[in-house]
Amino acid sequence: MKNDDGLFRGVNIGDTQDQVQQAERSAPSAFTDNVLTYEGQINETSDYAIRYGFENGSLFEIIVDASFENTEDGVKVINGFKEFFNERYGMFKLGSGYCVWDIQTNVANVHIELVDDSEYASFGQFSLNFHKQNDPES
């Protein structure tokens, strides 16, 4: 999580690319006009990729994918995220086999999904997605 500030890693939906880069404190491994990608290693056999998606210069989604050679390491990370988000946003709801939190931030309604994809691979794999929800009144 990097820190408790912001929605994830010190970043909030609605932030600019400059704000995301300041929060990450490093250059992205890849970038386009609308996506910043950060990749790294959790340990010797585990890695992650974080994609920050922008629309009209404003962050509207965060997509995190992580892979663990040791499935048990992945389960520990998933359980850590569940515990963190449950404490922060209330108990998750189950949505088609994955954990869901729908929250309200100062900027937008945000939908969070934590998905364990390990059953489809021979290693531990999960994704964590934050998406700005469309305003139902607009």
* Res 4: pLDDT: 64
Over residues 59-74, the pLDDT tens digits come to 999 999 999 888 788 8
The residue behind tokens 């997509």 is 63
Question: What confidence tens digit (pLDDT) does each residue in 66-108 have?
Answer: 998 887 888 888 889 999 999 999 999 998 879 999 999 888 8
Q: In what order do the strands lie in the sheet with 109-116?
A: 30-31, 35-43, 46-55, 58-68, 124-132, 109-116, 98-104, 93-95
**pLDDT more than 90, % of the chain:** 60
Tell whether the model's pLDDT for residue 127 goes beyond 70: yes
Return the minimum-mean-pLDDT range out of 4-8, 10-14, 32-36.
4-8
Whether the predicted pLDDT of 58 surpasses 90: yes
Query: Across all residues in the chain, what is the average pLDDT?
Result: 88
**pTM for this one?**
0.88
The answer to whether residue 15 scores a pLDDT higher than 50 is yes
For residues 71-87, b (16+ Cβ closer than 10 Å) or e, as one string? Answer: eebbeebbeebeeebee
Predicted pLDDT of residue 69: 87
